[in-house]
């Protein structure tokens, strides 16, 4: 019997979708939302004035005194209009937040996350639009926008320290995208919050945004970060080791921050980062004829000339990475993706991305525990058949 309106192969697609949903359920686990109501009195609130939030699952066994704190991503807002738009969803208000499923680096099964499975794990929700750097006291009653990202960071840290993080023996501050940038910007201050004898390191997933011109020759991303810093009053909350040498907005680019960081850092990034290709290299305003339209959606549809430009972007990205340092680990694959640590399929699975047969989870674990120095830089696209060319947040 053929269903009216059913497309050929529809049952196959449905079967695949159900299989994926079952896989997510098996590999991930739901974690409730914790609202930090006490933060409101400190003015540490989301863009709309609602309390900040995070998801927490306690450690067990040998991991009871180990902490993995992961910061959610989600871009930035650079002006009142963009920030106001975010208040209509979970990017700017905790009113729209619900429980989340933990997997990948946040997973709790030893086989799927061997080095961090039994740690205390936290995912900090992102509702300020400034990578947790904003702090403007005044609130315009006409918009009711609160630019308080830095206060949110401090309030949640206070809450976690009271929950037992003050006794941490091992700790890793991580994040994806805008959260990956935040894990770099707040890395040294995170280190300073914890016991001097603790092993504390930071991990940035898809947060290494580079200072590069777009296809029209404009410095679009630099202008964008200028506006973010001005709108949110971020300058005073960026690492002073960077702002003492560069204009504040330049310190949204990790390449100028990591030079003077004190705390060990691991950089996980695609050399052809999908977000950066779409928004730094070929942003829509600089491509009015949509020459890059199909290429940005699917790297396999890029023309030879576009691929040549993207190879140039990869070279620029590699030049922006820090020089050899024993405290810095790297895993730079040649995938067209964005964020690879939060999903099981890219973190650690039978077909997860690898460089020289080394999967991401093992690279990060080996680096964190000092089992071996880790600097994996992939060959150029399209050499790596293990890539999952997709965006995950």
Among residues 338, 341, 378, 393, the one annotated as catalytic is 338
How do strand 100-102 and strand 120-124 relate by DSSP bridges? Answer: unpaired
- DSSP tag of 324: P
**By C-alpha distance, which of 197, 196, 185, 158 is closest to 250?**
185
Q: Following DSSP, what letter does each residue of 142-207 receive, concatenated?
A: TT-----HHHHHHHHHHHHHHTTGGG-SEEEEEEETHHHHHHHHTHHHHHHHS-TTSEEEEEEES-
The residues with which 333 forms a beta bridge, in sequence order, are 270
Contact assessment for residue 44 and residue 52, using Cβ atoms and an 8 Å cutoff:
yes
Catalytic residue (choose from 273, 287, 333, 378):
273
Residue of 94, 177, 204, 337 marked catalytic: 177
CA atoms of 358 and 29, how far apart (whole Å)? 26
Strands 354-355 and 358-359: antiparallel
Residue 338 annotated to the active site: yes
Residue 93 has, within 13 A of its CA and on its CB side, a CA count of: 13
Q: How far apart are CA 163 and CA 205, in angstroms?
A: 26
Exposure of 386 in the CB half-sphere (CA atoms within 13 A): 21
Task: Tell me the CB-side half-sphere exposure of residue 174, using CA atoms within 13 A.
Answer: 28
Long-range contacts of 109-116 (CB under 8 A, 24+ apart): 109/27, 112/27, 112/344, 112/347, 112/348, 112/349, 113/347, 113/348, 113/361, 114/348, 114/361, 114/362, 114/365, 115/361, 115/364, 115/365, 115/368, 115/369, 116/63, 116/66, 116/68, 116/172, 116/365
Q: Which residues are catalytic?
A: 177, 273, 338
């Amino acid at each position: 019997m053929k269903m009216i309106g059913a497309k050929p192969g529809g049952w196959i697609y449905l079967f695949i979708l159900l299989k994926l949903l079952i896989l997510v359920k098996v590999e991930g686990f739901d974690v409730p939302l914790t609202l930090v109501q006490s933060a409101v009195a400190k003015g540490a609130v989301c863009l709309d004035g609602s309390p900040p939030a995070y998801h927490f699952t306690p450690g067990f066994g040998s991991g009871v005194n180990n902490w993995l704190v992961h910061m959610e991503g989600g871009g930035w807002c650079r002006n009142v209009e963009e920030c106001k738009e975010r208040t209509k969803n979970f990017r700017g208000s905790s009113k729209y937040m619900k429980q989340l499923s933990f997997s990948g680096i946040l997973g709790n099964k030893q086989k799927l996350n061997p080095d961090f499975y039994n740690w205390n794990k936290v995912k900090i929700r992102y509702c300020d639009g400034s990578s947790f750097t904003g702090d403007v006291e005044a609130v315009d009653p006409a918009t009711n926008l609160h630019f308080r990202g830095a206060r949110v960071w401090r309030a949640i840290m206070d809450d976690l320290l009271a929950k037992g993080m003050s006794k941490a023996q091992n700790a890793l501050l991580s994040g994806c995208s805008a959260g990956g940038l935040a894990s770099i910007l707040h890395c040294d201050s995170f280190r300073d919050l914890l016991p001097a004898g603790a092993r504390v390191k930071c991990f940035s997933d898809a947060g290494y945004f580079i200072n590069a011109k777009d296809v029209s020759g404009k410095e679009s991303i630099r202008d964008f970060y200028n506006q973010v810093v001005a709108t949110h009053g971020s300058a005073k909350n960026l690492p002073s080791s960077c702002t003492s040498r560069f204009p504040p907005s330049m310190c949204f680019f990790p390449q100028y921050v990591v030079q003077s960081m004190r705390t060990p850092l691991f950089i996980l990034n695609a050399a052809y980062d999908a977000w950066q290709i779409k928004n730094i290299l070929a942003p829509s305003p600089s491509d009015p004829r949509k020459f890059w339209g199909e290429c940005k959606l699917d790297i396999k549809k890029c023309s030879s000339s576009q691929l040549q430009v993207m190879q140039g972007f990869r070279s620029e990205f590699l030049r922006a990475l820090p020089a050899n340092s024993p405290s810095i680990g790297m895993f730079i694959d040649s995938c067209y993706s964005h964020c690879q640590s939060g999903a099981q399929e890219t973190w650690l699975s039978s077909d997860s991305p690898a460089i020289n047969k080394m999967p991401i989870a093992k690279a990060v674990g080996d680096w964190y525990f000092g089992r071996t120095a880790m600097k994996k830089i992939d060959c150029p696209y399209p050499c790596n058949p293990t890539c999952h060319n997709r965006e995950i947040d």
